[in-house]
Structure 1
Amino acid sequence: MGGQEPSSAGCSKSSNNSFKSLFRAYAERSSIKCLPRLIHAKSPLHKVLWFITFIVGGSVASYLLSGLIRTYISYETTLSVTAKEGGKPPFPDITVCNLNPLWNNAPGWGFLAHVDGSPQPLTYDEYIYMLFHNLEKLGQTNNSVDITMPELYSVSGYWKHTKHDSKSLDEMSKMFVWKCVWEKENQPYNCTVNATFTATNGLCYTIRPPTGEGLAKKTRQEGMAVILYLNNTNIRFVADYRLSPFQSYTEGVKVLLHPRGTVPEMVEGFTVSPGTEASVVAKYHRRLLLEKPYGTCKKKTDLNFSYIEDTDIAWKYTEYACRSLCYQNRIIEKCGCLDSTELVFDSLIKRYPFCSMFNLKNPKKALSEMNCTRSAKSYLDENNLCTMRCPTPCTNDVFYNTINQVTWPQEVYLLGFYYTYVRPRPPSDEFKNYYDRAIGYAMVRNTSEAWHLVKSTDLLQKNFLQLSITMADTITIDQDKPAIKIETIFGSLGGILNLWIGFTFITIMEFVDLFLTIVLEKISASRVEAADKKVTGNRESKPEITMVEPFRL
């Protein structure tokens, strides 16, 4: 008779018992402190206690770790602010614009809108109305006018069409920037003043410290004092003047402090009223942003377009300059002309004409080109093309300003101010009529009459203001940093697991050890099973021999 084979159920039961004892041995030796206590609990109540401890600790640890991982994969950032006292921050460019829309017609500025056949220069609004009425007449004949008055008013870059030579611009700058003194180490220097054409305010002037060998870069920057003449007294009265909601009707200037060599975005500036002194303390901040996946900035930026090359551009890259040139490039491509409301520079003006946006001689052409420029811009806006083309640079310089305004000059100093700054080159005889006479009375000690003349006019207060700009000796770095880094996750991982369930790096190696043990047990069991099958197969293949006793008679 053959031997009895071991059943498969018996082998499975034996294997399960083996793994059960293996897991129990692992739990007894585990560095997870609650597992040995759970195995060796003295009573069922103790087992429940340590089981609950293990579940609660594991749940809390899992929740905290999932929060860390969510923060990491969402690429959140934190802001790190570092301030360095006693630094040497760069002094900004200062761009100033006269807010009064009629100042352009004041005699002496040379900044006038002339129209062939008109008896005198026109104001901005008069010109707009004249153009609009011409377009209305054109529309009555061909029914093609779809330009509205607000759209005409939104075109505030009209003054760019006026041709100016360097001499006239220089004379205008001397009239507007009456006095500018830059101080370093208590040594005064004259400032540098350059004309700047802006889309929102027309002709403005950018003031900056002088450059040259005489100014050592290592010296401490102290500040700048600027006196501006607004010429508010010589503006002629405009009959039937109609106000426009798209223009400013305030007296004063708009001031913007911006990084050196950048295009001024005047909508971000602040206003200063005539007859005041604005004391500005500028604080320099450098903003450092992160590229993808944490942000959308780019380290490499340029102002190159298909019709515009940045080799011809003197400005540094900014989003504003890039978007404006993006619009201009599209208009050149589709309309073959330059939009006066966007940025232009000398090489562009030499290659392309301005769009006839204010052409009274040929309103039909003006209408066609206005429609063309509007269509070109609408296409870019609808497809968000300029925004995608002009990313935020990863390094940005920003000036935060603290501004205080006081009445200036005080009445007791009016004659002194006039004598020192205005009398050497009086802008009009009206000033002489009051202040020269007052000085004459003061010299003969008739102070009451001199004081009466000074009090009877506000010419100085209405036409002059002063800016005093200083830099704070602090360089502030505002830097975006990843909220969670991969090394932070590993550090927090160990802290959370060790705190809540006693899980350490040794525990991880114990899991590795357990995994290797299970694998080896499986391999060993499979080999034994294969050997058993081989033996069983050999037994079945051999014929069974039965011993038969010999037949006997």
Structure 2
Amino acid sequence: MGENICGYWCKFLLYFKKQSVPSLEERKKYNQEFATSTSFHGVHNVAENSGSAQNSKLRKVIWTTFLLVSIIMASWQVCSRVINYFSWPTTTSVTVQYVENIDFPAITFCNLNRFQTKAVNNLSIAFLLWNIVSAVLQLVSIANDSTDMQEIANFLNLNQNFSIKEFTRDYGFYLNKSTLLKCSFFGYPCYPEDFKHVFTEYGNCYTFNYPMYPLKKRITNSGRGLSLLFNIKQTEFTDDPSLGFVDAGISFIIHSPKIPPRFDGLGLHCPAGMHAYVSMRQFKTIIQEHPWGECNPALKLQFHEVYNTYGCLQECKSHYIQNLCGCVPFLLPGGGKECDLQQLYNCVPNALYTIEKSEFCSVGTYNATCPVPCEETDFPATISYSTFPSGKAAEFLTSKLRKSAAYLRNNLVYIDIKYHELNYKITKQQKALSFSELLSDIGGQLGLFCGASMITIIEIIEFLFANFYWMCIFLLVKTPSIPRWTNNQSKHGKDIQEC
């Protein structure tokens, strides 16, 4: 290795020995020609001699001052532009796009009462078990008192084949002609078969306009949309009020058909005996990729069509729970073995605590596990209510449904969902300064203060290279040799002489 370095060094010295150092007059002439011919404005005024010696000297001082000030100003402006560019500035534009027709979103409906009262003898056990299961959707562990835990443990010992998933499917809220009394979309009838069953934190829920259904629903007129009449059957579906379930009605969430429904306190609610009028809008948000924004366009989800933060969290939790427990809860996506009730009770809560404590599944910034999506669609809605049914409507429905007016006001929920207008708002995050704009800005500053261009920069680089080349020849070849060598230097000196 040392011999190779010495060989290259010898060749380097031999090359420069063959070169001749230009004389002082030749270097002055080259510098004078560069100063008078360069396109860098003002330099030739410093180099030229005109008029008397006194006037020429004064003129050089003035032009040198102007030239230095211009170079300083140009350098300051260029540096500030470069620093500003690498701060990754952005601007946000808001555009309202009017269209002739617009896609209708997916809407997921749930009964606020999860289970039928006749499901099991001790229904509180089912509520506690469901709370343990649904905790995976909020990424929180369940902390119940020791009495509850012991009661659940005893129940599991006596019912080892008990499945909370099948129990919920069989004894949770169901959608048929007795619970969906009326359904119309844009004036056309719809049926329970048009809804897709999904599990959420509310148990059995049903999604209208599910993406797997072939019919793509679009709206061509504002003021009309989806109209539904539910019978929540309070006497049949009644959660235990001692556990905090004190409401009766329908909870629903409006979301994109390409992402899973996320309630988590974000759902809209319509109580029994009310007619809800929901007016929604469509908002699209486009975020720049890192480093301008916080999104990562390369991220893909395995079990969802498009990337979204909630779906990413579900897959992240599914991955860690599978690694820690060897199974996947049925509320989470995944291809692994489904967790049985013992695993849901013994392992999953501890796994959730570990995930939360260690922040394995973080949200928000680019460096988080689940950063914000580069594009997402939201459906903000306003909701108003009126009492349902009215006196005349109660008489009509009483004879039609053969139910009392009191039953109707305690069990019927009427919901109308429509677009406010046929438009959508786009909020777009944009780069405040692109690279081409940075180059244009730098060129403008150099042109303003120095009259410089890319050709000027090449001229200056050529001038500096030539002077550096001559300096290398002078320092490496023309410097007098040291007459005496130390013992450590003698071998290296001989190698150079042999070269």
> What TM-score range do you get, normalising by the shorter chain?
0.5 to 0.7
Give the match's secondary structure for 2:443: helix
Give the match's secondary structure for 1:265: coil
Q: How does 1:72-111 map to 2 (within 5 A)?
A: 72-73=85-86, 75=88, 77-79=90-92, 83-86=96-99, 88-99=101-112, 103-104=113-114, 110=116
1:373 to partner: Cα distance: 1.7
1:495 to partner: Cα distance: 0.9
Given that 2:36 and 2:47 are in contact with CA atoms closer than 8 Å, whether structure 1 keeps it comes out as: yes
1:504 aligns with 2:491: no
1:335 aligns with 2:343: no
Partner residue in 1 for 2:140: none
Query: Judging changes above 3 Å, is the alpha-carbon distance between structure 1 residues 295 and 17 closer, same or farther for their aligned structure 2 residues?
Result: farther
1:182 to partner: Cα distance: 0.7
1:277 to partner: Cα distance: 2.5
Read off the aligned partner of 2:377 and give its amino acid letter.
Answer: V
Q: How does 1:400-439 map to 2 (within 5 A)?
A: 400-409=379-388, 414-418=390-394, 423-426=399-402, 428-429=403-404, 431=406
Given that 1:31 and 1:503 are in contact with CA atoms closer than 8 Å, whether structure 2 keeps it comes out as: yes
Read off the aligned partner of 1:114 and give its amino acid letter.
Answer: V
- Among 214, 219, 226, which residue is 2:228 paired with? 226
Given that 1:326 and 1:386 are in contact with CA atoms closer than 8 Å, whether structure 2 keeps it comes out as: yes
Read off the aligned partner of 2:167 and give its amino acid letter.
Answer: T
Q: How does 1:443-482 map to 2 (within 5 A)?
A: 460=409, 463-470=412-419, 472-482=421-431
Read off the aligned partner of 2:352 and give its amino acid letter.
Answer: K
1:133 to partner: Cα distance: 1.5
Query: Judging changes above 3 Å, is the alpha-carbon distance between structure 1 residues 324 and 518 closer, same or farther for their aligned structure 2 residues?
Result: closer
Cα deviation, 1:1-22, whole Å, max 9, x if unaligned, reads xxxxxxxxxx99x944543454
Query: Judging changes above 3 Å, is the alpha-carbon distance between structure 1 residues 524 and 56 closer, same or farther for their aligned structure 2 residues?
Result: closer
Given that 1:276 and 1:466 are in contact with CA atoms closer than 8 Å, whether structure 2 keeps it comes out as: yes
Partner residue in 1 for 2:120: 114
Q: How does 1:306-325 map to 2 (within 5 A)?
A: 310=303, 318-325=308-315
- Among 460, 463, 484, which residue is 1:514 paired with? 463
1:344 to partner: Cα distance: 5.9
Partner residue in 2 for 1:374: 349
Partner residue in 2 for 1:182: 185
Of structures 1 and 2, the larger Rg is shown by: 1
Query: Judging changes above 3 Å, is the alpha-carbon distance between structure 1 residues 221 and 137 closer, same or farther for their aligned structure 2 residues?
Result: closer
Unaligned runs of 5+ in 2: 1-19, 132-142, 154-162, 480-499
Compute the TM-score of the two structures, normalised by the length of structure 1: 0.60
Partner residue in 2 for 1:133: 147
1:326 aligns with 2:316: yes
Given that 1:337 and 1:354 are in contact with CA atoms closer than 8 Å, whether structure 2 keeps it comes out as: no
Query: Judging changes above 3 Å, is the alpha-carbon distance between structure 1 residues 113 and 400 closer, same or farther for their aligned structure 2 residues?
Result: same
Cα separation, 2, equivalents of 1:60 and 1:480: 32
User: How many residues were matched structurally?
Assistant: 424
Cα separation, 2, equivalents of 1:220 and 1:495: 50
Given that 2:251 and 2:270 are in contact with CA atoms closer than 8 Å, whether structure 1 keeps it comes out as: no
Q: How does 1:531-542 map to 2 (within 5 A)?
A: none
Unaligned runs of 5+ in 1: 1-10, 140-157, 304-309, 358-365, 433-458, 531-553
1:398 to partner: Cα distance: 1.0
Partner residue in 1 for 2:68: 55
- Among 256, 259, 267, which residue is 1:259 paired with? 256
Cα deviation, 1:112-167, whole Å, max 9, x if unaligned, reads 6514xx4x77784799899842535899xxxxxxxxxxxxxxxxxx97452435xx
Cα separation, 1, equivalents of 2:126 and 2:469: 95
Partner residue in 1 for 2:83: 70
1:283 aligns with 2:282: yes
1:75 to partner: Cα distance: 4.8
Give the match's secondary structure for 2:409: helix
Structure 1 stretch displaced more, 130-139 or 20-29: 130-139
Given that 1:299 and 1:393 are in contact with CA atoms closer than 8 Å, whether structure 2 keeps it comes out as: no
Query: Judging changes above 3 Å, is the alpha-carbon distance between structure 1 residues 84 and 237 closer, same or farther for their aligned structure 2 residues?
Result: closer
Cα separation, 2, equivalents of 1:72 and 1:62: 15
Q: Percent identity?
A: 17
Query: Judging changes above 3 Å, is the alpha-carbon distance between structure 1 residues 172 and 216 closer, same or farther for their aligned structure 2 residues?
Result: closer
Cα deviation, 1:180-213, whole Å, max 9, x if unaligned, reads 2211xxx4231622332213x3333322389989
Cα separation, 1, equivalents of 2:336 and 2:398: 40
Give the match's secondary structure for 2:391: helix
Partner residue in 2 for 1:150: none
Q: How does 1:352-391 map to 2 (within 5 A)?
A: 352-355=339-342, 366=345, 369=346, 372-387=347-362, 391=370
1:259 to partner: Cα distance: 1.1
Query: Judging changes above 3 Å, is the alpha-carbon distance between structure 1 residues 290 and 30 closer, same or farther for their aligned structure 2 residues?
Result: same
Cα separation, 2, equivalents of 1:87 and 1:525: 79
Partner residue in 2 for 1:195: 197
